């Protein structure tokens, strides 16, 4: 039997970002997939040598445009731990609020792209239309639309007032209602099911062995979510991870859809428990962290790890960022064999690949 | 580091990683940072039920470090990344890009090693790209 | 099966969700971080904004009294606005319009006299006099 080798990407209609997969095909089924990366490597980690600690916040935000808030949140938590300070309680809750808004908009972006990759254009439009309103909430409360630039060492830079928070809460309710209306169209639609159920199956053992994280791992039955470590204010929000056990593309779709609703709920509860008070510590001197630390948070795509090393200078010695897609790529390579060529785009998109954060 | 961190000799690394895997620790990732022109500090991060544990190994840049990808295949990608950025070699790496995961043939060698000078922020002008010469670094 | 049909029918009567930009422009939200403005008469050319800027898009020349901003390298983070000790920097709520050519904004003020900060508004004590 002859094999055919088909290049998939780096420019492909379903891929928002450049990754190249070399697919070995036999009779329309994938036998092997090999990745090629390096199209968007920017060397951001090395910028620590040229930027001081507060300036690095703006740099790490640019690792990923979609979840900039969560990158900055993670970085600031790490630096704060090294300095032995803690952001005030109100800032902690606000960070959760914005992180969850970012998760919602990231998942909505993905849900739209996923619908689009199935050829379901009107659903794509619906999700993106809702997403715009989440972006509006972010812009009105933080000052910037996508890369929100709201974290600082020792707190946050904006403090939404009561009227704004009431508006956010009301808008969240309306958005949730609209999403629930779309739920059957996403999850039960026969076309969607036919394209996703049983496609790209990743067993629980494979997911663990290959180090999958986030919704990709949770759709295979691994109930691990970094928010369970109760960083920031998650400990006060009684967070429960969303888990599915089928491990196929439809399970990943269900996890992300239910997580979107769960995140809206977290925003609502964060507003309810928001304490009064300061949002930003006054630092007496420029931060000069000393020591090593590993910080982990949950990004929309999964576990994000930062390793920071400082020697008491105003610039850190090393920042290492392990983004969730980096961890999910081996799992993707394991999902693809056996999949038919026409399903490769769907399965690839089902891990929500973010290549510019993978390569940084 | 807030979590348990153990320094292990290079020779004992593979056995130690295999033992952790048998105990149910998931490999999170590897971190490399430069110690000096000759040595690299490798940290292996493991997770079990949301708890972390780290192994620390000091490797010489000139010598190939043992790859743990036969134990945890998920290490292959990050070991390739470290090969690209720091110019070390991993021996026994499954899926070896040979230093070409991110880099092109004309890219600078070991771009994350500091001996090449401070990071360049603006790309060199069209056609006139000269990669900085690295003096004294073991991997250039 | 027909859930989306109901949504689509509703959309049919709701009118478009988009705006005919640039003919209709949405009002900016209050305190959106837009274009930078410098009240150059009050600027002391202390260079603090330059040192804090993460994207290195500012330059000051205290001797010539020049403040220069590259709006195309600026990431509109507002760090410089927070850093400015005399609060002469501010951000509009609207962003810059798209342009076809790259440009830098150059503002000419009065060069600082020797021996301290100048300008109205009692800027004296806070403005660190070290030139960058
Ligand atoms: S920080 Fe303010 S006063 Fe100082 S140079 Fe910048 S704009 Fe002028
Ligand atoms: S807004 Fe940010 S990027 Fe722009 S000049 Fe100010 S500090 Fe620099």
Q: Given ligand 1 and candidates C84, C85, C91, C110, which is best to mutate, with the most ligand atoms within 8 Å of its CB? A: C84
Q: What is the mean pLDDT of residues A250-277?
A: 90
Q: How far apart are the C-alpha atoms of A336 and A8, rounded to whole Å?
A: 12
So what CATH class is C48-94+103-112?
alpha beta
State the fold for domain A42-358. Cytochrome-c3 Hydrogenase; chain B (1.10.645)
CB of C35 within 8 Å of any CB in chain A?
no
Of A9-23, A76-90, A306-320, B97-111, minimum mean pLDDT range: B97-111
Q: How far apart are the C-alpha atoms of B34 and B41, rounded to whole Å?
A: 6
Whether the per-residue pLDDT at B117 is higher than 80: the answer is no
Annotate A240-260 with b (16+ C-beta within 10 A) or e (fewer): ebbbbebbbbbbbbbbbbbbb
Of A54-63, A206-215, A227-236, minimum mean pLDDT range: A227-236
Whether the per-residue pLDDT at A48 is higher than 70: the answer is yes
Q: Say yes or no for a CB contact (<8 Å) between B101 and A210.
A: no
pLDDT attached to residue A232: 84
The CB of C84 under 6 Å from ligand 2? The reply is no
Residue B25 lies in a domain: yes
pLDDT attached to residue A40: 83
pLDDT attached to residue A31: 85
Q: What is the pTM of this model?
A: 0.86
Of A47-56, C9-18, C41-50, C114-123, minimum mean pLDDT range: C114-123
Give the residue whose CA is nearest to atom 8 of ligand 2.
C53
Mean confidence (pLDDT) of chain B: 78
Note whether A328 and A134 are within 8 A (CB): no
Q: How far apart are the C-alpha atoms of B107 and A189, rounded to whole Å?
A: 48
pLDDT attached to residue C116: 47
Mean confidence (pLDDT) of chain A: 87
For B46-92, write each residue's pLDDT tens digit: 988 888 899 888 888 888 888 888 888 888 888 888 888 887 888 88
The CB of C57 under 6 Å from ligand 2? The reply is yes
Instruction: Please name which of C31, B88, B129, C18 lies closest in space to residue A143, comparing C-alpha atoms.
Output: C31
- What are the chain A neighbours of C50 within 8 Å (beta carbons)? none
Whether the per-residue pLDDT at C127 is higher than 70: the answer is no
Q: What is the mean pLDDT of residues A39-65?
A: 86
pLDDT attached to residue A260: 92
Whether the per-residue pLDDT at B2 is higher than 50: the answer is yes
ipTM over 0.90: no
Six-digit token pair at A286?
């420029």
CATH number at residue B72: 3.30.460.80
pLDDT attached to residue B132: 46
- What are the chain C neighbours of A51 within 8 Å (beta carbons)? 54
Q: How far apart are the C-alpha atoms of C88 and C43, rounded to whole Å?
A: 6
Six-digit token pair at C110?
């009065």
CB of A223 within 8 Å of any CB in chain B?
no
Q: How far apart are the C-alpha atoms of A327 and A304, rounded to whole Å?
A: 9
| Domains of chain A, residue spans | 42-358
Please report which confidence band the pLDDT of residue A170 belongs to, taking 50, 70 and 90 as the band edges.
Answer: very high
Nearest residue in A to B123, CA atom: A42
Six-digit token pair at A43?
């060397």
CB of B120 within 8 Å of any CB in chain A?
no
Residue B136 lies in a domain: no
Six-digit token pair at B130?
């000269």
Q: Given ligand 2 and candidates C34, C48, C70, C80, which is best to mutate, with the most ligand atoms within 8 Å of its CB? A: C80
Residue B125 lies in a domain: no
pLDDT attached to residue A285: 78
Could you tell me the residue range of the domain that residue B49 belongs to?
4-115
Q: Say yes or no for a CB contact (<8 Å) between C29 and A136.
A: yes
Whether the per-residue pLDDT at B138 is higher than 50: the answer is yes
**Residue A303 forms beta bridges with which residues?**
A298
Place of tokens 């390739």: B80
Whether the per-residue pLDDT at C129 is higher than 70: the answer is no
Q: What is the mean pLDDT of residues A247-260?
A: 90
Of A211-215, B4-8, B69-73, B97-101, minimum mean pLDDT range: B97-101
Instruction: State how many domains chain B has.
Output: 1
């Amino acid at each position: 039997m002859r094999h055919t080798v088909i290049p998939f990407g780096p420019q492909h209609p379903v891929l928002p970002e450049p990754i190249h997969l070399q697919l070995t095909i036999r009779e329309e089924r994938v036998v092997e997939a090999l990745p090629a990366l390096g199209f968007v490597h920017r060397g951001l980690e090395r910028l620590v040598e040229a930027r001081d600690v507060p300036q690095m916040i703006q740099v790490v935000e640019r690792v990923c445009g979609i979840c900039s808030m969560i990158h900055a949140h993670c970085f600031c938590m790490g630096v704060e731990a090294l300095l032995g300070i803690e952001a005030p309680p109100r800032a902690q809750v606000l960070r959760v609020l914005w992180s969850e808004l970012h998760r919602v908009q990231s998942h909505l972006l993905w849900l739209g792209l996923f619908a689009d990759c199935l050829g379901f254009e009107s659903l794509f439009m619906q999700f993106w239309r809702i997403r715009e309103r989440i972006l509006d909430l972010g812009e009105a409360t933080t000052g910037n639309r996508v890369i929100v630039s709201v974290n600082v060492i020792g707190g946050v830079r904006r403090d939404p007032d009561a009227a704004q928070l009431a508006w956010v809460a009301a808008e969240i309710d309306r958005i949730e209602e609209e999403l629930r209306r779309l739920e059957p169209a996403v999850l039960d639609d026969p076309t969607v099911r036919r394209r996703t159920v049983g496609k790209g199956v990743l067993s629980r053992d494979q997911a663990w062995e290959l180090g999958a994280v986030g919704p990709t791992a949770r759709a295979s039955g691994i109930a691990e979510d970094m928010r369970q470590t109760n960083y920031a204010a998650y400990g006060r929000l009684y967070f429960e991870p969303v888990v599915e056990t089928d491990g196929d593309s439809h399970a990943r779709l269900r996890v992300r859809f239910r997580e979107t609703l769960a995140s809206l709920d977290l925003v609502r509860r964060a507003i309810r428990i928001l304490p009064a008070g300061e949002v930003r510590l006054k630092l007496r001197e420029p931060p000069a962290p000393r020591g090593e630390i590993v910080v982990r948070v949950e990004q929309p795509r999964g576990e994000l790890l930062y390793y920071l090393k400082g020697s008491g200078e105003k610039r850190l010695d090393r920042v290492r960022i392990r983004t969730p897609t980096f961890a999910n790529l081996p799992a993707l390579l394991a999902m693809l064999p056996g999949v038919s060529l026409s399903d490769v785009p769907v399965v690839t998109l089902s891990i929500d690949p973010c290549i510019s954060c993978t390569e940084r | 580091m807030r979590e348990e961190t153990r320094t292990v000799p290079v020779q004992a690394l593979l056995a130690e990683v295999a033992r952790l895997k048998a105990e149910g620790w998931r490999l999170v990732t590897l971190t490399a940072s430069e110690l000096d022109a000759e040595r690299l500090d490798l940290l292996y991060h493991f997770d079990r039920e949301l708890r972390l544990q780290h192994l620390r190994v000091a490797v010489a840049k000139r010598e190939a470090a043992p790859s743990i990808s036969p134990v945890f295949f998920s290490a292959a990608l990050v070991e390739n990344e470290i090969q690209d950025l720091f110019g070390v070699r991993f021996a026994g790496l499954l899926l070896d890009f040979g230093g070409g995961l991110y880099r092109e043939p004309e890219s600078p060698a070991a771009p994350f090693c500091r001996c090449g000078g401070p990071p360049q922020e603006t790309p060199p002008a069209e056609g006139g790209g000269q990669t900085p010469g690295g003096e004294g670094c073991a991997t250039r | 099966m027909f859930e989306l049909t109901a949504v689509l029918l509703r959309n049919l009567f709701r009118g478009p969700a988009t705006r005919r930009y640039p003919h209709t422009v949405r009002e900016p939200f209050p305190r959106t971080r837009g274009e930078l403005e410098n009240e150059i008469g009050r600027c002391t050319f202390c260079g603090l904004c330059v040192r804090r800027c993460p994207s290195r898009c500012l330059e000051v020349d205290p001797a010539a009294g020049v403040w220069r901003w590259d709006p195309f390298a600026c990431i509109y983070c507002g760090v410089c606005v927070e850093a400015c000790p005399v609060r002469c920097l501010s951000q509009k709520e609207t962003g810059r319009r798209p342009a076809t050519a790259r440009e830098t904004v150059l503002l000419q003020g009065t060069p600082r006299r020797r021996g301290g900060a100048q300008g109205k508004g009692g800027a004296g004590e806070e403005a660190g006099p070290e030139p960058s």
